[in-house]
Amino acid sequence: MVKINEHYTEIGNNYLFAEVARRVREYKENYPDKKVISLGIGDITQPIVPAVIEAVHKATEEMSKAETVRGYAPDFGYDFLVNAILRHDFQERGIHLEPDEIFVSDGAKSDTGNIGDILSPDNYIAITDPAYPVYVDTNKMSGREIELLPCTPDNNFVPSFPKKTADVIYLCYPNNPTGTVLTKDQLKKWVDYAIENQSLILFDAAYEAFISEDDIPHSIYEIPGAKKVAIEFRSFSKTAGFTGMRAGYTVVPKELIAKTSKGESISLNALWKRRQSTKFNGTAYIIQRGAEAVYTPEGQKQIKKVIDYYMENARIIKESLDSMQLKTYGGINAPYIWVKTPDGMSSWEFFDFLLDKAQIVGTPGSGFGESGEGFFRFTAFGNRENTLEAVERIKTLLGE
Ligand code: PLP
């Protein structure tokens, strides 16, 4: 008889956003006339910029001709995109990486979720809490032991080192869901920890493009020694509206060496290459041409405008909530505002309260981990009109 991976039974049924969607659906069925505004899921609302659309159209045309049609894409990305990534995301920040250290993919969710394929189930895992749910769930699926590192106002959202030495550490900065960041000095402490303990850092930089302050690292490789201890995940989803187009990339430096159980050294870059070439068949040519266009001068100018638009939403949400004496965090280098729920409400109580009384949807902090209990996440990805209306409704509900 077929046997399942029993660990799947331990992770619970409801993925956070599925439960949010279920409650919203139920509410809309009961109150079809009410206008519900979502500041919940971190999805884009603004159109994809013209430079990307033009590139996608052009690439689509190429597919219509025998001379220019493309079949399977290279497993790790076309040179034109890899070179644009290297130049713009790394060389301009003084970071040297080789083309075969970049792995273009269909996004950071797959890569952060799949990276565990090349790591032993015996690794001891440290994950900041609250966190993007993929890290905890995928490690539970593999039966790994996890230590959560609380990130709360008590430690200014700067995680302490784990109680037991971690083999693998997940860091996500700018952070989803708290919107907080680490300075270079704070991140350096983690790189030094990893060097000292031969740990691996999995650094999720999906929100790098939203950094507005100096001294906040855009890449972990800005920290000396990081190439020996860190894999970095990037995404075009929030940077350039690719949530539905699907593109991202992962950096696996060749300096990253791990040990087999027999003590032999082995390159993680070689392992990831092997994994990807077996299980992944490349990102669509058309989409990679779109991603390449993000790096052109017009593309850069255009995506900056969209990012500024979202970050103006973030400012509006943050300032309005602050004026209501709610305690907010984040929202300056990230499109997320993390709010302490009022009157000691639990995260889900506040969710139901806002939905019921003001038809506003946010994301309950407890869905991101136990340290998220008593917090709530608003996103800046709405359109301006809805964002303004949402804060007005919350003001009416909670008062100045
Ligand atoms: N990493 C973090 C921290 C995210 O918040 C998200 C999406 O919300 C992702 C990764 C997934 O990105 P992608 O759309 O590239 O799969």
Mutate to test the pocket of ligand 1, among 235, 245, 246 (most ligand atoms within 8 A of CB): 235
Partners of residue 329 on adjacent β-strands: 338
pLDDT of residue 400: 61
Nearest CA to ligand 1 atom 8: 42
Mutate to test the pocket of ligand 1, among 109, 249, 363 (most ligand atoms within 8 A of CB): 109
**Residue 203, CB-side half-sphere exposure with 13 Å CA sphere:** 31
Ligand 1 atom showing the smallest separation from residue 107 Cα: 15
What six digits make up the tokens of 125? 């895992």
How long a stretch of residues is the chain? 400
Contacts of 241 (CB under 8 A, 6+ apart): 44, 46, 47, 48, 49, 52, 303, 306
0.95 surpassed by pTM: yes
Mutate to test the pocket of ligand 1, among 17, 44, 48, 112 (most ligand atoms within 8 A of CB): 112
Ligand 1 atom showing the smallest separation from residue 235 Cα: 15
- CA–centroid distance, residue 389 to ligand 1 (Å): 27
User: In which order are the strands placed within the sheet that holds 248-251?
Assistant: 102-105, 248-251, 230-235, 200-204, 168-172, 124-129, 145-150
With pLDDT > 90 as the criterion, what percentage of the chain qualifies?
Answer: 94
- Residue whose token pair is 């990276």: 115
How many other β-carbons are positioned within 10 Å of the β-carbon of residue 320?
21
C-alpha 52/C-alpha 296 separation (Å) is: 9
- CA–centroid distance, residue 204 to ligand 1 (Å): 8
- CA–centroid distance, residue 7 to ligand 1 (Å): 23
Q: Distance between the two ends of the chain, CA-based, in angstroms? A: 62
Specify the amino acid at residue 335. Answer: P
- CA–centroid distance, residue 91 to ligand 1 (Å): 24
Ligand 1 atom showing the smallest separation from residue 110 Cα: 16
How many other β-carbons are positioned within 10 Å of the β-carbon of residue 179?
27
How many other β-carbons are positioned within 10 Å of the β-carbon of residue 164?
10
* Ligand 1, CB cutoff 6 Å, lining residues: 42, 107-109, 112, 132, 172, 176, 204, 206, 235, 237, 243, 248
Ligand 1 atom showing the smallest separation from residue 111 Cα: 16
- CA–centroid distance, residue 10 to ligand 1 (Å): 23
- CA–centroid distance, residue 104 to ligand 1 (Å): 15
Mutate to test the pocket of ligand 1, among 237, 245, 280, 310 (most ligand atoms within 8 A of CB): 237
C-alpha 177/C-alpha 222 separation (Å) is: 23
- CA–centroid distance, residue 113 to ligand 1 (Å): 10
C-alpha 99/C-alpha 85 separation (Å) is: 9
- CA–centroid distance, residue 207 to ligand 1 (Å): 8
| pLDDT < 50 stretches in the chain | none
Ligand 1 atom showing the smallest separation from residue 42 Cα: 8
C-alpha 348/C-alpha 350 separation (Å) is: 5
Ligand 1 atom showing the smallest separation from residue 242 Cα: 14
- CA–centroid distance, residue 206 to ligand 1 (Å): 6
- CA–centroid distance, residue 66 to ligand 1 (Å): 36
- CA–centroid distance, residue 43 to ligand 1 (Å): 10
pLDDT of residue 14: 62
Nearest CA to ligand 1 atom 2: 206
Ligand 1 atom showing the smallest separation from residue 177 Cα: 5
pLDDT of residue 356: 96
Torsion of CA 178, 101, 212, 332, to 10 degrees: -10
- Residue whose token pair is 């983690």: 190
pLDDT of residue 399: 78
C-alpha 166/C-alpha 125 separation (Å) is: 6
Evaluated on CA atoms 279, 240, 134, 26, the torsion sign reads negative
- CA–centroid distance, residue 235 to ligand 1 (Å): 7
